[in-house]
Structure 1
Amino acid sequence: MNSVDLALKEAMEIDGATGVALVDFTSGMTLGTLGSNHTFDLEVAAAGNTEVIRAKIRTMESLGLADTIEDILITLGRQYHLIRLLQSHTGRGLFLYLVLDKARANLAMARHRLRSIESQLDI
């Protein structure tokens, strides 16, 4: 298994995880996906969340904010969607996209685990 496969597998071990993708937000293409929910299209979700990141970056530029995005949380009725921009790969425009079942997830622990996974990811 390569580093991406291992990172996705480890992310799926996070309590409540139902899907994960490693995404290039410059193109919207996934570099890998893994999920247990076959009715949820991670490819479509990854492409859509690419637009969320691009919009936030444009807004930050318009405001003159000289900062970086650590993560973006989207809270739905039954799910958390956690988008973590990879700080170690910022120039490459990569993010981890994690879908969590809200009833089973510990959001603080999920954020902590994604940071740890990122630190071990070698692309």
Structure 2
Amino acid sequence: MANTETALKEAMTSIEGAIGVALVDYNSGMALGTLGGGKELDLNVAAAGNTDVMRAKVRAMEMLNIQESIEDILITLGSQYHLMRPLTGRSGKGLFLYLALDRKRANLAMARHRLRAVEESLEV
């Protein structure tokens, strides 16, 4: 089992095209850990903003009485992919991984696969 810092490093090094990654508490909108980002992407701002996306999807599923869990949420931009993956373990309730990818360098299917592996190995 990996701690937050190790898991974020694994995401940045094992996922081709990774720009930045964060572990986010979607109750508060705070990033509990970040790696990457920089001038082109403020991960703390992204964490707060994408918390609204996660909350909205959870609310919509509740209103629709959908009893399934969210595997991941994908936002496609002209030059980037943004992935959000809720943590499924009991200790990760209310947390999600946020990953930004350079669309030209990333393989979306592999990124989703690797992010799932990172999420499964993460112990909070």
Under TM normalisation by the shorter chain, which class is it?
A: over 0.9
The one-letter code sitting in structure 2 at the alignment partner of 1:102 is: R
> Counterpart of 1:38?
39
CA distance in 1: counterparts of 2:102 and 2:40, whole angstroms? 14
Match of 2:72 in 1: 71
Aligned to 2:29: 28
SS at match of 2:89: helix
Distance 1:74 1:63 in 2: 21
Normalised TM-score (structure 1): 0.93
Shift of 1:87: 1.1
Partner in structure 2 of residue 15 of structure 1: 16
1:43-99 per-position Cα deviation (integer Å, ceiling 9, x unaligned): 001101000011111111111111111100000000000001111147620100000
Q: Secondary structure at the match of 2:11?
A: helix
Query: Cα–Cα, structure 1 residues 90 and 77, in superposed 2: closer, same or farther, change >3 Å?
Result: farther
Output the CA distance in 2 between the equivalents of 1:5 and 1:121.
Answer: 10
SS in 2 for 1:44: helix
Task: Extract structure 1 runs of 4+ deviating beyond 4 A.
Answer: none
Structure-1 residue corresponding to 2:86 = 85
Q: State which drifts further: 86-95 or 48-57.
A: 86-95
Deviation at 1:37, TM superposition (A): 3.3
> C-alpha offsets along residues 8-65 of structure 1, whole Å, 9 cap, x if unaligned?
1011111000100000001101110000533311000110100001111111111111
CA RMSD of aligned residues (A): 1.4
**Which residue of the partner structure matches residue 3 of structure 1?**
3
Question: What is the match of residue 100 of structure 1?
Answer: 101
| Whole-Å separation in 2 of the counterparts to 1:48 and 1:89 | 24
1:32/1:102 CA distance change after superposition, 3 Å: same
Q: Distance in 1 between matches of 2:23 and 2:32?
A: 5
Correspondence for 2:56? 55
Residues 99 and 91 of structure 1: CA distance in aligned 2, closer, same or farther (over 3 Å):
closer
Gaps of at least 5 residues in structure 2 are: none
